């Protein structure tokens, strides 16, 4: 078993709490991504799992064994760093085999492991080159190969793609996913890029100010965020938040945005929000894809309204539109042929079947 468990783990630097008593269970073979803004504690958490940082309090277990005081070299983990950490005077094969040679593995087994990893990562023709002869993507593959040949209990990735250009990041995300599908080693991956988190992870751990905000599958975090922070961090462009309040009108529950603009809630949503106080300060959360061009025959729960656009961003397959409501800048997605122009009027539709209602004070999704 190579499950990883964190129990009430705390990391304190003098008077600064970097990690605030987090609990996390990572199953054997699972690919878990820690994501969050800079300073949220994700890299510190990874380094504590690796043994590169001492924990202030709590327990870390790998394969059921507490490893708080176990040196990094004895934890049976392999780490891939942001800066590759390759030895410039060694060939690719020598870099990949370095850890095995230190542990005095037989030469035949070392060669077998290197050949297998090189084939897996498509770097067979590079094994005799030195790092300075490689591109950034090739160096990253070598760093991954060095981890793979060790056949560890756990892979740890510390923002491995942040030094690559956008196109290469996409390619390397695919490579990392392919490798995990083949090797199925328990993997903990740290990134600040929510796209990496969504595309790679079995489960995503969203961190903020040293705490875990929410844990879930990419779909759960996207469609069922628990807090405003998660709702805004996951998704690009981010979720829109519009000040609103609930009111009864004509026997139906409405969400009122302005004096002239209010939408009746679909029955399922109305039932869900019936107990919410009519005096509470609320935010209406809508993803950009749920604000689109109006249809002559809208589906149930979809309401049309008119607005004047501020800015448009043609993206090819879609156009992003921006306009203002109650002082909030709103982003929507429309068809390129919807007639959206900078400063022009447009009739839009809002899909309330996919709305979120948040408490403005606490940031909690209701």
- The confidence band for 182, taking pLDDT boundaries of 50, 70 and 90, is confident
Condensed to tens digits (0 to 9), the pLDDT of residues 259-300 reads 889 999 999 899 999 989 888 899 999 999 999 999 888 899
| Averaged pLDDT for residues 160-172 | 83
Residue 358 pLDDT greater than 90, yes or no: yes
What is the predicted pLDDT for the residue at 249?
83
| Averaged pLDDT for residues 210-231 | 96
Beta bridge partners of 305: 348
Residue 70 pLDDT greater than 90, yes or no: yes
Residue 26 pLDDT greater than 70, yes or no: yes
Beta bridge partners of 244: 282
| Averaged pLDDT for residues 130-150 | 89
* Buried/exposed 144-182: b ≥16 CB within 10 Å, e otherwise: bbbbbbbebbbbbbbbbbeebeeeebeebbebbeebbee
356 contact partners, CB below 8 Å, separation of at least 6: 225, 231, 239, 284, 285, 286, 365
What is the predicted pLDDT for the residue at 349?
96
Residue 82 pLDDT greater than 70, yes or no: yes
Q: What domains are defined for the chain?
A: 4-227 (3.40.50.300), 240-359 (2.40.50.140)
Beta bridge partners of 358: 283, 365
What is the predicted pLDDT for the residue at 1?
58
Condensed to tens digits (0 to 9), the pLDDT of residues 83-122 reads 888 999 999 999 999 989 988 999 999 999 999 899 888 8
Structure tokens that stand for 136 in this block: 């950034």
What is the predicted pLDDT for the residue at 328?
84
Residue 71 pLDDT greater than 70, yes or no: yes
**Residues 326, 240: contact at Cβ < 8 Å?**
no
Residue 81 pLDDT greater than 90, yes or no: no
Residue 326 pLDDT greater than 80, yes or no: no
What is the predicted pLDDT for the residue at 167?
84
| Averaged pLDDT for residues 325-330 | 86
Q: Which residue is associated with the tokens 């005081």?
A: 69
Average pLDDT value over all residues in the chain: 92
- Nearest-angstrom CA–CA distance, 320 and 133: 42
What is the predicted pLDDT for the residue at 94?
93
Residue 138 pLDDT greater than 80, yes or no: yes
Condensed to tens digits (0 to 9), the pLDDT of residues 52-66 reads 999 999 999 999 999
| Averaged pLDDT for residues 346-356 | 96
């Amino acid at each position: 078993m190579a499950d990883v468990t964190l129990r009430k783990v705390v990391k304190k630097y003098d008077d600064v709490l970097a990690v605030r008593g987090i609990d996390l269970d990572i199953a054997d073979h699972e690919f878990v991504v820690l994501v969050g803004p800079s300073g949220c504690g994700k890299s510190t958490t990874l380094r504590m799992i690796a043994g590169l940082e001492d924990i202030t309090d709590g327990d870390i277990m790998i394969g059921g064994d507490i490893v708080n005081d176990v040196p990094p070299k004895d934890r049976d983990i392999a780490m891939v760093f942001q800066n590759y950490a390759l030895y410039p005077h060694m060939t690719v094969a020598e870099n990949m085999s370095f850890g095995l040679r230190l542990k005095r593995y037989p030469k035949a087994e070392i060669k077998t492991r290197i050949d297998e990893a090189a084939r897996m990562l498509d770097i067979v023709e590079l094994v005799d080159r030195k790092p300075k002869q490689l591109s950034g993507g090739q160096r990253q593959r070598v760093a991954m190969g060095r981890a793979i040949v060790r056949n560890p209990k756990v892979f740890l990735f510390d923002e491995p793609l942040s030094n690559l250009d956008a196109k290469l990041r996409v390619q390397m995300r695919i490579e990392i996913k392919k490798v995990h599908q083949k090797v199925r080693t328990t993997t903990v991956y740290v990134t600040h890029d929510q796209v990496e988190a969504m595309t790679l992870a079995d489960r995503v751990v969203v961190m903020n100010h040293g705490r875990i905000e929410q844990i879930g599958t990419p779909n759960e975090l996207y469609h069922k965020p628990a807090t405003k922070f998660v709702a805004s961090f996951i998704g690009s462009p981010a979720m829109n938040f519009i000040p609103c309040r609930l009111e009864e009108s004509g026997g139906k529950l409405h969400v009122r945005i302005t004096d002239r603009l209010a939408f009746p809630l679909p029955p399922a949503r109305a039932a869900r929000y019936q107990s919410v106080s009519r005096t509470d300060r609320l935010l209406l959360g809508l993803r950009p894809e749920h604000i689109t061009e109006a249809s002559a025959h809208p589906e149930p729960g979809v309401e049309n309204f008119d607005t004047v656009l501020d800015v448009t961003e043609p993206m090819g397959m879609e156009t992003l539109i921006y306009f203002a409501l109650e002082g909030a800048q709103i982003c929507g997605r429309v068809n390129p042929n919807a007639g959206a122009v900078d400063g022009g009027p447009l009739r839009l539709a809002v899909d309330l079947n996919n709305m979120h209602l948040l408490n403005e004070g606490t940031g909690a999704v209701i």
